């Protein structure tokens, strides 16, 4: 495959016509990391400074940043910020391991977090002195960021032919693609995983339309994916979470593409709660169900995702209240009786048998232990 067409620099993802990454080093101060604060989108655009490891921890935990690849990159910069706070004396090794454990405890499901923190840990071990470790942590975080951008770009290139094939079979009629949560550039650094093939198809003039699951409780679909697609001028329709099954039965969905927070070595896919139900409906209706993910999301040490992937449970308030834009400000309203009990599971696991294929930066791969194993090489 020739990777020639996609994304000259000026074509990268934009907000109001200006290109942003989700995270970057502050130009005037390399000791400060800046992020787009996603808690306010699509209503307000705010940039936040992260100056300490605690800032990075809470940015991940409280979902100022979210999405598996972005959580990983933020944690890598978090390690750098932690190292910056150290004094030359004292037990460096113990402290750095403490930083890694602290950051890893911020959110449990996305394996990219551990992948990134372990990578910085390994790299910093190569140096003896604190100044060198700081430099290495900084360079490693920058490298991870660059890698995730390139991974997503390649996922776009490998995923594109799957859309093109359906478009050809439909003689150029609109390809209807369903996605869940936000696996777009806001969940990564640029391009996105599930969205990268969509952006490429749109750029190449293939007619697409995206069904966007609203994705309760945090509404990453209606707030973030719809926002991204709107900014790129891609036709899309936001649907209530339970709508997908009907649309599939009525022939209104040609394919599903979702992201993942952790995929085990046997191909079970953890993704935002509700993904599994879409995969079941897709299977019942013979609709291809693809998972787009970088290798940093594959847990090669785990062979049984259904029983082993830890599922985050978040604050019941997220279910109890809905957040929206009213009177020029973000407002929360309660949508149930005050004393009703609430459960807030963040993710579910789609068994490998319902996954048509994984779209990775190396190639499109079967969701089987045998094929996933070959990605390591
Ligand atoms: O709770 P979130 O918003 O971090 O969950 C995000 C998702 O479930 C995404 O689909 C997943 O991280 C893939 S991101 C490319």
CATH number for 17: 1.20.120.420
Q: Is 181 in the pocket of ligand 1 (CB under 6 A)?
A: yes
Domain final residue, candidates 148, 182, 200: 148
Q: Are both 114 and 31 inside the same structural domain?
A: yes
Q: Are both 122 and 185 inside the same structural domain?
A: no
Bridge partners (DSSP) listed for residue 179: 212
CA of 183 to the centre of ligand 1 (A): 6
221 domain residue, yes or no = yes
1 domain residue, yes or no = no
Q: What is the CATH number of the domain that holds 290?
A: 3.40.50.10470
Q: The whole model's pTM is what? A: 0.96
Q: In 3D, which of 210, 240, 205, 362 has the Cα closest to residue 296?
A: 362
244 domain residue, yes or no = yes
CA of 79 to the centre of ligand 1 (A): 22
Q: Are both 51 and 143 inside the same structural domain?
A: yes
The H or E element containing residue 209 is strand 208-213
58 domain residue, yes or no = yes
Q: Are both 141 and 162 inside the same structural domain?
A: no
Contact 72, 296 (CB under 8 A): yes
Count of domains in the chain?
Answer: 2
Q: What is the pLDDT of residues 28-55, one digit of tens each?
A: 999 999 999 999 999 999 999 999 999 9
Per-residue model confidence (pLDDT) at position 7: 47
- Using DSSP, state whether 208 is helix, strand or coil: strand
- Residue span of the structural domain in which 111 resides: 9-148
CA of 188 to the centre of ligand 1 (A): 9
Instruction: Give, for ligand 1, the residue of 260, 270, 360, 361 to mutate: max count of ligand atoms closer than 8 Å to Cβ.
Output: 260
Q: In 3D, which of 208, 199, 185 has the Cα closest to residue 15?
A: 185
292 domain residue, yes or no = yes
Q: In 3D, which of 123, 131, 183 has the Cα closest to residue 159?
A: 183
Residue bearing the CA closest to ligand 1, atom 6? 67
30 domain residue, yes or no = yes
Q: Is 346 in the pocket of ligand 1 (CB under 6 A)?
A: yes
Q: Are both 291 and 256 inside the same structural domain?
A: yes
3 domain residue, yes or no = no
CA of 113 to the centre of ligand 1 (A): 12
Q: Are both 347 and 253 inside the same structural domain?
A: yes
Weakly modelled stretches of the chain, pLDDT under 70 = 1-12, 89
84 domain residue, yes or no = yes
Domain final residue, candidates 148, 175, 191: 148
Domain final residue, candidates 127, 148, 169: 148
Q: What is the pLDDT of residues 314-344, one digit of tens each?
A: 999 999 999 999 999 999 999 999 999 999 9
Q: Are both 137 and 195 inside the same structural domain?
A: no
Q: Are both 35 and 175 inside the same structural domain?
A: no
Instruction: Please give the positions annotated as active site.
Output: 261
């Amino acid at each position: 495959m020739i990777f020639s067409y996609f994304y000259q620099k000026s074509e990268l993802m934009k907000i109001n016509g200006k290109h942003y990454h989700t995270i970057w080093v502050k130009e005037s101060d390399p000791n400060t990391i800046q992020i787009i604060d996603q808690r306010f989108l699509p209503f307000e655009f705010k940039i936040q400074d992260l100056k300490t490891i605690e800032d990075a921890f809470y940015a991940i935990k409280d979902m100022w940043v979210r999405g598996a690849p972005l959580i990983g990159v933020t944690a890598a910069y978090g390690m750098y910020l932690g190292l910056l706070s150290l004094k030359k004396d004292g037990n460096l090794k113990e402290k750095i391991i403490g930083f890694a454990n602290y950051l890893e405890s911020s959110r449990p499901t996305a394996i990219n977090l551990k992948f990134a923190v372990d990578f910085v840990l390994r790299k910093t071990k190569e140096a003896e002195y604190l100044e060198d470790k700081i430099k290495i942590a900084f360079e490693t975080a920058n490298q991870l960021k660059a890698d995730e951008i390139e991974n997503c770009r390649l996922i776009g290139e490998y995923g594109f032919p799957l859309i093109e094939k359906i478009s050809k079979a439909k003689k150029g009629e609109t390809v209807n693609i369903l996605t869940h949560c936000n696996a777009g550039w806001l969940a990564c650094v640029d391009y996105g995983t599930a969205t990268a093939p969509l952006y490429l198809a749109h750029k190449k003039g293939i007619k697409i339309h995206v069904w966007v699951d609203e994705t309760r409780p945090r509404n990453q679909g209606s707030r973030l994916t719809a926002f991204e697609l709107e900014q790129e001028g891609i036709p899309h329709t936001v649907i209530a979470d339970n709508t997908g099954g009907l649309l599939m039965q009525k022939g209104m969905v040609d394919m599903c593409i979702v992201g993942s927070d952790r995929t085990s070595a046997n191909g079970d896919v953890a993704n935002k709660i509700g993904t599994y139900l879409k995969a079941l409906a897709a299977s019942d209706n013979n609709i291809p169900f693809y998972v787009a993910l970088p290798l940093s999301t594959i847990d090669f040490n785990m062979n049984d995702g259904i029983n082993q992937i830890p599922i985050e449970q978040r604050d019941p308030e997220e279910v109890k209240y809905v957040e929206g834009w009213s009177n020029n400000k973000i407002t929360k309203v309660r949508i149930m009786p005050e004393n009703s009990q609430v459960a807030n599971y963040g993710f579910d696991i789609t068994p490998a048998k319902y996954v048509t294929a994984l779209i990775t930066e190396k190639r499109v791969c079967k969701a089987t232990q045998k094929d996933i194993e070959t990605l390591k090489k």
